[in-house]
Structure 1
Amino acid sequence: MGDAILTPPTEQDVFLEKLVIIPHNYLANDCHQQIADIPLNRALYGLPESGFVFCCFNHNIKIEPTIFEVWMKILAAVPGSLLWLLNRVKMAEDNLQREAKKLGIDGERLIFAPPLPKAEHLARHRLADLFLDTYYYNAHTTGSDALVAGVPILTCPGRTFASRVGASLLTAAGLPELIAQNLQEYEKLAVELARSPTIVEQLKQKLVRSHTKVQQLKEKLAANKLTFPLFDTPRLARNIEKAYQKMWEIYTSGNSPQQIIINDTPS
């Protein structure tokens, strides 16, 4: 089960399974997530008082040399900027800072965030300006978290399912302009956004409006249409139910499995 970006119907031949194409985005999101209502300041989370904050809260194992080198080029092009990463393993922290120095970037410009309870983790996203997605294996849940917290994501899709998730999330969130066509464009766009904070704030406001729609779902207005289907959990559930029904109909008719494309059920 995928969506038209992750698993294009035209690529059915490269899959052993028959594809079931869900509208918008395949990844189920919890539209009732709580974001802690706490005072936020940079010092509390080990961030300097000034400078553009790039972040990536993906697992450290998703950070490989190709994207890391691009990130260091971005930091070099944006003086005073920093990269905020999730701290899972001390060895990884040391290795990343060492590799940054090899590429001409002070390792201290890599700030590492310790694990926190989910609600506070979502809240601290708001100290970041732009989420830089990893390349070969994109953000999945971490991408959804960033979007629901109001932080735009910059991604560059590849040829595999795992490398297209960011593009799928952004399309469903109404921000396709943050999908770079290649790593050169990814780097250029990241630098342009960092040098144009007004643009970033506009993107954040766009996400804040979508998050307001999510809050409406918390008030049990699940039947309302959402601006961005990414955050509409009941809508996804309805579409998946339609897929299951279609699968069952094919099976009970005695036919072999076949590709299924589900039309949207917004309400």
Structure 2
Amino acid sequence: MMKYYDRSRSICEWERLDEWRDKIRTSLAGGETSRISPFHLLSLAGFSAAEQRRCADVWMSGRLAASAEARSELDFDFDRPPQTKIRLGYLSADFQEHATAYLLAETLEAHDRDRFELYAYSYGADDGGAMRQRLQHCFDRFIDLGDLTIADCAKAIYSDRIDILIDLKGYTRGTRSEILTYRPAPIQVNYLGYPGTMGGDFCDYIISDNYVTPPASAGDYSEALACMPGSYQPHGCDVAIGRPSSRAEQGLPADGFVFCCFNQAYKIMPETFDIWCRLLYNTPGSVLWLLKNSQAKGRLRNEAYQRGISPERLVFADEVPQPEHLARLRLADLVLDTAPYNAHTTASDALWVGVPLVTCTGDTFASRVAGSLLRAVNLEQLIAEDADAYYALALALSSHPQRLAEIRQQLQQNRLSVALFDSAAYTLHLEALYQTMWDRHLAGQLPAAIGQTC
């Protein structure tokens, strides 16, 4: 079931969405543990944060049972004297040209090396690129786990005496987060790569903020909430922007309003696409600029046609290197967010180059990320509370160029002083969370909500 659903959502094949929702709820109610990846639920409208936790719990229960004997044989012990520095282990497949790497690089570089030792545990391919080389210089040790078994990966991490193991993948593609189920470190953290709970009992904290995870939502997460004072998401200010691009170079019309969304196709739901087509209909001469997906392109143009919109008003952009992408992004007039799985890196990138973003907030982590980013650049007025308000706000901005121009000017003037792009301050706050986690552990205290209010 899930293999077919995964393919369908990746190409915007929406005909059976209601059927999939019903099947998923039935599977969850029956405790089926191997058919529903928690990652799939993040982009599917109609599921609450509580249901996402239930999905994560049942997804992991079978895997935990299957590895119980092997985990028991290892039985790692942490009764040892503390080290001079807190040893942080970052676990990921994405230490390369990847959105997570672009977000995190400056924070890794800014870590206080007098207080922390940094270890990287990589199980992704070495692409040999500039980002890979940059990241290798961020760590005291960079360990390629290669094709080691899950158990051997855990042994390697344990032997390095990691104090806090930070998982950057969650349940996203290519994950080996099952390493955490072996408990190779006394403190384990869910951070940045996955906007939701891991479920089970193997992750102690989730790095968040009080907007993406309001205090009242704590029960929807198996982890204790570790809240940053601004947005949970880092974004550096030393980010290269390529040479200026023109509309003609990007296949955009010389005149007319450019709505934009560079989120992956699986995040686009029909309810959101309905709104986008209404905006195109009521904004003469406008276009919708999307990230190219060869399989979804034809379907989206057909869906637009069925909604009364000429297919040519959907313009598709190729994937390009990050500096070139940021340069062309400036040509957009307004970024339209997706729901319930918001823009993440694509949202903060747009704000970095000065393009406003309109989002519709929800009640899950993934549906509140763009709102968190907007709060961190002092643009809360661009957060809509429901779909109708989202449409009205986007239409108002497309119809009132002066109002939109003022917001763009505010972004350009303030981008070097707002919280979202202050990587030095962000790193200090993150380190304070790590320190609190470690102090609680040394004091024999169980994980509990920590951090500051927004």
| TM score, norm. by length of structure 2 | 0.54
CA distance in 1, matches of 2:218, 2:453: 18
**Whole-Å Cα distance in 1 between the matches of residues 330 and 227 of structure 2?**
33
1:88-117 deviation digits (Å, cap 9, x = unpaired)? x21211110000001111111000011111
Number of residues of Structure 1 aligned to a counterpart in Structure 2: 248
Q: What is residue 134 of structure 1 aligned with on the other side? A: 338
Q: CA deviation at 1:263?
A: 6.6
Distance in structure 1 (CA, Å) of the matches to 2:453 and 2:214: 15
Residues 71-86 of structure 1 mapped to structure 2, 5 A cutoff: 71-86=276-291
Instruction: Please name the residue that 2:264 is paired with.
Output: 59
1:189 to 388, 393, 399: 393
Quick check: 1:84–1:110 contact (8 Å CA) kept in 2?
yes
Larger Rg, first or second structure (1 or 2): 2
Is 1:48 equivalent to 2:253 in the alignment? Answer: yes
Task: Look up the SS of the partner of 1:158 in the other structure.
Answer: coil
Distance 2:261 2:370 in 1: 12
Structure 2 runs not aligned, ≥5 long: 1-206
Q: 1:257 matched to which residue of 2? A: 447
The answer as to whether partners of 1:243 and 1:262 remain within 8 angstroms in 2 is: no
Deviation at 1:58, TM superposition (A): 0.7
Confirm whether residue 69 of structure 1 aligns to residue 259 of structure 2.
Answer: no
**The one of 20, 25, 28 aligned to 2:226:** 20
- Separation of aligned partners in 1, 2:318 and 2:341: 22
Kindly indicate whether structure 1 or structure 2 has the higher relative contact order, using CA contacts under 8 Å at least 6 residues apart: 1
* Alignment partner, residue 424 of structure 2: 234
Please name the residue that 1:248 is paired with.
438
Distance 2:337 2:309 in 1: 19
Kept in 2: contact 1:138–1:166 (CA 8 A): yes
Letter in 2 for 1:258: A
Alignment-mate amino acid for residue 72 of structure 1: C
User: What is the aligned partner in structure 2 of residue 121 from structure 1?
Assistant: 325
| Mapped pair 1:108 → 2:298 | no
Q: Specify the alignment match of 1:222 in structure 2.
A: none
Partner of 2:24 in structure 1? none
Which residue identity is paired with 2:373? L
The answer to whether the Cα contact below 8 Å between 2:210 and 2:453 also exists between their aligned partners in 1 is no
3-state DSSP of counterpart to 1:45: coil
Q: 3-state DSSP class of the match of 2:288?
A: strand
Structure 1: 5+ residue stretches without partners: 214-225
Structure 1: distance between partners of 2:219 and 2:318: 43
State the distance in 1 between where 2:254 and 2:438 align. 57
Q: Aligned partners of 1:129 and 1:200: how far apart in 2?
A: 8
* Structure 1 vs Structure 2 CA RMSD: 1.2
Q: How far apart are the structure 2 equivalents of 1:248 and 1:262?
A: 17
| Change beyond 3 A, Cα 1:51–1:247 | same
Q: Secondary structure at the match of 1:85?
A: strand
TM-score by length of 1: 0.90
Give 1:262 shift: 3.1
| Matched residue SS, 1:44 | coil
Separation in structure 2 between the aligned mates of residue 94 and residue 258 of structure 1, nearest angstrom: 49
Partner deviation per Cα, 1:127-155 (whole Å, 9 max, x = no partner): 11000000110000000110001100000
Summarize the alignment of residues 88-107 of structure 1 with structure 2, pairs less than 5 Å apart: 89-107=293-311
CA contact (8 A) 1:239 1:262 kept: no
Q: Letter of the 2:439 partner, please give it.
A: E
CA distance in 2, matches of 1:26, 1:207: 20
User: Whole-Å Cα distance in 1 between the matches of residues 211 and 255 of structure 2?
Assistant: 37
Q: Which runs of 4+ in 1 moved over 3 A?
A: none
Cα separation, 1, equivalents of 2:446 and 2:355: 44
